[in-house]
């Protein structure tokens, strides 16, 4: 084990960091209080972190003076980016110390505008809250970047950030838009809800196939998935749903179809940011259920709750209206509408970006187990987003 006492393990959450095409390129650590870099050594040295490929770690550094350059030994500096409060950079001692850390290979961003002092301290770019105001053009141009935007939670604001020079975005959940019944394809929406209903009812594969044939976009995504290297690296191309079902198996087919609902986007547009997030919640829900000794059917139900928890955002509809169109178990409905029951407790935890110790106690897991399960869920979500 990484830590002798699992509950002394740092309690840390994660948010994804996306590029301009909505692909995950990093993980932003979310820590209650002012955790320091030394406290994160156990996290970064956790074996599961090696499975996250080339993702970078974005870490808040509340007190740069608390970090000795010697403490960087053995850490994956090539994947680490630390954010320093811009207000601290006016202090000469902080400037010099940050420059020493940067010279050792630690990349640094400033949270806020710091003027010429940022460049003198070895700061590469900005990591700022863009909810209400954007940094000045001068602040952006005096640093090489890349620059990371937080709280750009709708496409209009994200577009303004991209125009200003931001190329990285911390993955806050997009706001739910009000549904306009006069817009969009009503037939496609009804078909989508019908497919969701069939999946929830464990419908016969022939029923799924009939409905899939009516939706070319979803059909294309399914066949693209089963022909990817992750599923059929050496086999002949698969051209029909019967072959796809045989390859995936019934259980995996339903899971992938649930996730493929989020892959409905134009082929020449950016990826749907909800797809990996839905996969993440589903994987973490399943993991939490397994940790609570849930059987296979219970794990499948937890997985479904995780996937369906973002349907209100995907469809721009109230969740109550969505569940009323589906024949879901009452436990699933309670979890999705009220976050109540065991499934609701697990979903509330999966939705937390800064987990609370009390929430972990409620589901009966310790800090280290939570962190490992979270990394595993991110690993699976990455696999999904790269193959769909």
pLDDT at res. 125: 95
pLDDT at res. 157: 92
pLDDT at res. 283: 93
Q: How far apart are CA 118 and CA 122, in angstroms?
A: 7
First to last CA, the chain: 34
* Domain 186-387, classified CATH 1.10.3210, yes or no: yes
Residue 349: phi and psi, rounded to 5, are -70, -40
| Alpha carbon 268 to chain centroid, angstroms | 22
pLDDT at res. 361: 85
Please count the other Cβ atoms lying within 10 Å of the Cβ belonging to residue 148: 25
Instruction: Determine contact, residues 382/53, Cβ cutoff 8 Å.
Output: yes
CA distance to 64, 118, 149, 160, 348, per residue, from 166 (Å): 24, 17, 6, 9, 31
Looking at residue 40, the DSSP 8-state letter turns out to be G
Could you tell me which residues come within 8 angstroms of residue 37 by beta carbon, excluding any fewer than 6 positions away? 59, 61, 66, 67, 71, 72, 82
In the chain, domain spans? 6-170, 186-387
Q: Average pLDDT of each block of 10 consecutive residues along the chain (388 residues)?
A: 56 89 90 60 72 84 85 83 93 94 93 87 95 91 93 89 95 61 53 75 77 74 72 64 71 78 66 88 92 89 92 88 85 94 92 84 84 87 79
Helices (H), 50-149: 92-103, 116-120, 137-141
Q: How far apart are CA 351 and CA 112, in angstroms?
A: 27
Looking at residue 108, the DSSP 8-state letter turns out to be E
Tokens of 72: 């960087």
> 6-170 has which CATH code?
3.20.20.450
Q: How far apart are CA 239 and CA 222, in angstroms?
A: 10
Q: How far apart are CA 14 and CA 225, in angstroms?
A: 27
Residue 100: phi and psi, rounded to 5, are -65, -40
Question: Which among 227, 292, 218 has a CA at the least distance from the CA of 257?
Answer: 218
User: Degrees (nearest 5) of the Cα angle 380, 253, 257?
Assistant: 75
């Amino acid at each position: 084990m990484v830590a002798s006492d699992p509950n002394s393990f740092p309690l840390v959450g994660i948010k994804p960091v996306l590029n301009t095409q909505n692909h995950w390129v990093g993980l932003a650590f979310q820590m209650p209080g002012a955790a320091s870099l030394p406290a994160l050594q156990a996290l970064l040295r956790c074996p599961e972190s090696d499975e996250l490929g080339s993702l970078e770690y974005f870490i808040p550094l509340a007190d740069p003076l608390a970090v000795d350059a010697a403490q960087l030994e053995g850490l994956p500096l090539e994947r680490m980016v630390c954010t320093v409060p811009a207000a601290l950079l006016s202090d000469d001692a902080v400037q010099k110390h940050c420059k020493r850390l940067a010279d050792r290979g630690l990349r640094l961003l400033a949270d806020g505008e710091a003027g010429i002092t940022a460049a003198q301290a070895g700061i590469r770019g900005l990591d700022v809250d863009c909810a209400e105001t954007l940094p000045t053009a001068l602040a952006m141009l005096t640093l090489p970047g890349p620059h990371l935007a937080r709280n750009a939670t709708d496409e209009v604001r994200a577009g303004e950030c991209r125009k200003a020079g931001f190329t990285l975005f911390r993955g806050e959940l997009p706001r739910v838009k009000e549904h306009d019944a006069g817009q969009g394809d009503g037939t496609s929406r009804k078909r989508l809800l019908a497919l969701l209903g069939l999946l929830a009812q464990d419908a016969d594969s022939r029923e799924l196939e009939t409905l899939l044939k009516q939706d070319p976009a979803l059909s294309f995504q399914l066949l693209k998935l089963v022909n990817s290297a992750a599923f059929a690296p050496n086999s002949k191309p698969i051209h029909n749903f019967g072959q796809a079902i045989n390859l995936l198996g019934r259980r995996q087919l339903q899971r992938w179809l649930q996730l493929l609902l989020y892959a409905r986007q134009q082929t020449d547009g950016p990826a749907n940011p909800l797809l990996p997030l839905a996969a993440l919640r589903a994987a973490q829900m399943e993991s939490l259920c397994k940790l609570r000794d849930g059987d296979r059917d219970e794990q499948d139900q937890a997985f479904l709750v995780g996937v369906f928890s973002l349907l209100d955002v995907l469809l721009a509809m109230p969740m109550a209206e969505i569940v009323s169109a589906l024949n879901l178990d009452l436990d699933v409905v309670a979890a999705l509408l009220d976050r109540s029951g065991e499934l609701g407790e697990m979903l509330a935890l999966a939705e937390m970006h800064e987990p609370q110790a009390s929430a972990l106690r409620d589901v009966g897991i310790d800090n280290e187990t939570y962190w490992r399960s979270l990394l595993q869920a991110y690993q699976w979500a990455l696999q999904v987003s790269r193959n769909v």
